[in-house]
Each structure stands twice: as C-alpha cells, then as structure tokens.
Amino acid sequence: MTKKEVRVLPIKEGTVIDHITAGQALRVLRILGITETSHKVVSVAMNVPSRAMGKKDIVKVENRELVPREVHKIALITPQASINIIRNYKVIEKYLVSLPSEVVGVLRCANPNCISNTSEPATPKFIVKESGLRCYYCERTAAEDIMNYLL
C-alpha cells in the first residue's frame, strides 16, 4: 500500500483560519455566512493531525479578510484559533484570535427577561471574565451553546 498525500492548494489572496478546534469548522463557516450558495472559494480540512492539538480543523477563504466582529465570534467557539492573512501567496499577517474585555453586539443574552432582549434600546453586551462571559445588564453567564445566541 502506498502512502498518499492530500494537498490543499495554497490561496493567492484571502484568509486562513488555522488551529480550529476539531469539529468546529462548519460553525466557523456559519459565522462567516458561508453557505452552499456562497460564491467564495472555500477549502475546509477537518480532523487534520496536529502535534499541538491532536487534531484540528482549517478553513481557507479566498479573496476575503475577516472583520473584528467575525474574529470575536470565532474566538467564542474556538479560542486557540489563529488567523493568517494571505497576499500574493504569502502570509503577511498572523495573529491569534482573542476577545476584547467586552463583547458588544455579538451575542444575545440567554435570559429572556434581560433588558437587552426587550424593546428597550440596549445593545447586548458581555464582560469577558476568566470564568466565562457575563451579561453586563443582568449578570447572567453566557449560555453553554453560544452558537444559538450569536447575532
């Protein structure tokens, strides 16, 4: 039996999201609004062997750079991910995702009685703590399944 090598072609321009927690690549695509009807060229590798993580996922999106709001959403579901900005086939910038001290307008509070879920003009806001995310208004901890509460 011969060993086959699987290769994903490099991209000329765009973004590579690496070190995604294994099994989270499809959630990353959802955060980016990439669906089967999107016109972006996307490469997805799932459960790729990784020395540091055991296994990981990778997403490559051609001709697109992420905005901070998207990076913050990705950080919520896979906090060890890294972002690589590619131009002319070269990595021109590489950084780890991170959350700011406050997450504003990215996540809806799970508390239906929270002022941010009423008709009041209160933008959802969470304070980032070591123990997790806490709603600025009602102090409720963010829900376990954050994907259901992303805005």
Is the four-CA dihedral 51, 20, 111, 101 of positive or negative sign? positive
Q: Are residues 48 and 21 in the same domain?
A: yes
Residue 8 lies in a domain: no
Residues 150 and 29 sit within 8 Å (Cβ to Cβ) = no
pLDDT recorded at residue 90: 96
DSSP letter, residue 18? E
Please report whether residue 4 resides in a domain.
no
* Residues 69 and 117 both lie in one domain: no
Residues linked to residue 13 through DSSP beta bridges, in sequence order: 87
Q: Are residues 50 and 72 in the same domain?
A: yes
In this structure, is residue 107 part of a structural domain? yes
Examine the domain organization and report whether 119 and 85 are in the same domain.
Answer: no
Same domain, 92 and 24: yes
> Per the domain annotation, does 5 fall within a domain?
no
Number of domains observed in the structure of the chain: 2
Residues 108 and 61 in one domain: no
**pLDDT tens per residue across all 151 residues of the chain:** 455 555 677 899 999 999 999 999 999 999 999 987 778 889 999 999 989 899 999 999 999 999 988 999 999 889 899 999 999 999 999 999 988 899 898 899 999 999 999 888 899 999 998 878 999 999 999 878 888 888 8
Query: Are residues 30 and 53 located together in one domain of the fold?
Result: yes
Domain that holds residue 70: 13-96
Helices (H), the chain: 25-31, 68-77
CATH number for the domain that contains residue 56: 3.30.70.140
Given a contact cutoff of 8 angstroms between Cβ atoms, the answer to whether 103 and 125 are in contact is yes
Instruction: Report pLDDT for 17.
Output: 97
Give the closest residue to 59 by CA, choosing from 96, 24, 87. Answer: 24
Q: What is the pTM of this model?
A: 0.81
Q: Do 40 and 107 lie in a common domain? A: no
Residue 31 lies in a domain: yes
Report if residue 3 sits inside a domain: no
Rounded Cα–Cα distance for residues 33 and 56 (Å) = 21
Give CA–CA dist 151/57, Å, rounded: 23
Q: What is the pLDDT of residue 4?
A: 56
We report the CATH number of the domain holding residue 143 as 2.30.30.20
| pLDDT score, position 1 | 47
